[in-house]
Amino acid sequence: MPDKKFPGFSAVAKSTPLPDDFFSRVLPQIQDIAELKVTLRIFYLLHHRQGNPGFVTFSELLSDSVIMAGMEEDTLRHTLSLAVDRGTILPLSLEIDSKQEDVYFANMEGDRETIARIKRGELNIKNTRELKAGEERTAYAAKPSNIFALYEQNIGVITPIIAEELKEAVKLYPSQWVDEAFREAVLLNKRSWKYISRILERWSREGKDSGEYRKSDKKGGPDKYIRGKFGHLVKR
C-alpha cells in the first residue's frame, strides 16, 4: 500500500494520448500487470521524448526507475516479448553509438512507415540522445518519415477523421510546407491540426516568403491547393 493516498489529478495536468483501440481491444486481453505497466510507460516516454526518431531503447527502459521498480532485467525482457507478440509494440535492432541495440516503437502508422524506411535503407540511424525519465517533449521532431509521423510525434494519436485530412493535405500541399507548418505550430505551442491546416491554407492563398508556388509559378501557383476535398475552406 502506498504511504500517501494520491490526491487526484490536477486540472492543468499534462496528458499522454492513447488510441481508443487500446482500451477497447488491447486492454481486455492483457492479463500480466507488468506488461500493462511497461506498455503504458513506453507510450509515455515516446510522447515526451525530444526529437526524432520515435523509439526507446532497451537500455533506456532498463535505466527507467518507474519501469524497473520491483522488476528484474529478465522480467523486463519477458514483458517486452509479451507486448511485441500482442502487437502493441514493434521491435527493431539498430546500430546506435557503435553498438547493436534493441529499440521499440509504438505500433502506430507513422512508426510502421519509419521502420519500413529504415529496413529499405532510406533512414540511417547511427546515434541517439538518451531520454531521461520524465523529460518533457518541447523540441520539434525533425525530419520525420511522413505527415503521419509528424502528427504522432508532435500532436498525438491520429483519429480516422484526422487521417483522412492528413492524406488530403499530402495531395494539396508541398511536403516542405507541411514540415514548416508543423514547425511553426510547435514553436508557438499551438499543437493542433486545425491550427496547422490554417497555416497551410493561408500560405496557399498568399504564397510563402520564399516565393514558391505563387500564381506566377509554372505549376499553377496556390490556386491548385484550393481545388479538392477541402477547397471550400480556403477563402480568396
Whether the pLDDT of residue 228 is over 70: the answer is: no
Q: How far apart are CA 150 and CA 196, in angstroms?
A: 11
143 inside domain = no
102 inside domain = yes
For residue 101, give the amino acid letter: E
113 inside domain = yes
pTM over the 0.85 mark: no
92 and 173 part of one domain: no
Distance from first CA to last CA of the chain, Å, rounded? 63
167 and 82 part of one domain: no
**Residue 7 preceded by cis peptide, ω within 30:** no
201 inside domain = yes
Q: What pLDDT score does 209 carry? A: 66
Q: What is the mean pLDDT of the segment spanning 21-32?
A: 95
The count of structural domains within the chain is 2
25 and 108 part of one domain: yes
56 and 107 part of one domain: yes
Task: Look at 139 and 30; give whichever has higher pLDDT.
Answer: 30
86 and 167 part of one domain: no
Q: What pLDDT score does 109 carry? A: 83
100 and 36 part of one domain: yes
Mean pLDDT lowest among 27-41, 60-74, 139-153, 211-225 = 211-225
| Cα separations in angstroms, 36 against 9, 50, 188, 205 | 20, 24, 34, 48
115 and 163 part of one domain: no
31 and 84 part of one domain: yes
Q: What pLDDT score does 129 carry? A: 44
193 inside domain = yes
133 inside domain = no
Task: Look at 212 and 4; give whichever has higher pLDDT.
Answer: 4
1 inside domain = no
141-156 confidence digits (pLDDT tens): 444 447 888 888 788 8
C-beta atoms surrounding 23 within 10 Å: 10
Treating both helix axes as pointing N-terminal to C-terminal, what angle do 193-206 and 160-172 enclose, rounded to 10 degrees? Answer: 20
24 and 107 part of one domain: yes
Do the Cβ atoms of 128 and 27 come closer than 8 Å?
A: no
163 and 82 part of one domain: no
Coil/strand/helix, residue 232: helix
Q: What's the chain's length in residues?
A: 236
30 and 115 part of one domain: yes
45 and 103 part of one domain: yes
Do the Cβ atoms of 68 and 41 come closer than 8 Å?
A: no
Domain termination residue (choose one: 119, 142, 168)? 119
Task: Look at 231 and 143; give whichever has higher pLDDT.
Answer: 231
Range of the domain at 45: 20-119
Q: What is the CATH number of the domain that holds 25?
A: 1.10.10.10
149 inside domain = no
Domain termination residue (choose one: 119, 141, 173)? 119
Q: How far apart are CA 71 and CA 14, in angstroms?
A: 27
Mean pLDDT lowest among 65-69, 130-134, 198-202 = 130-134
Q: What is the mean pLDDT of the segment spanning 23-52?
A: 90
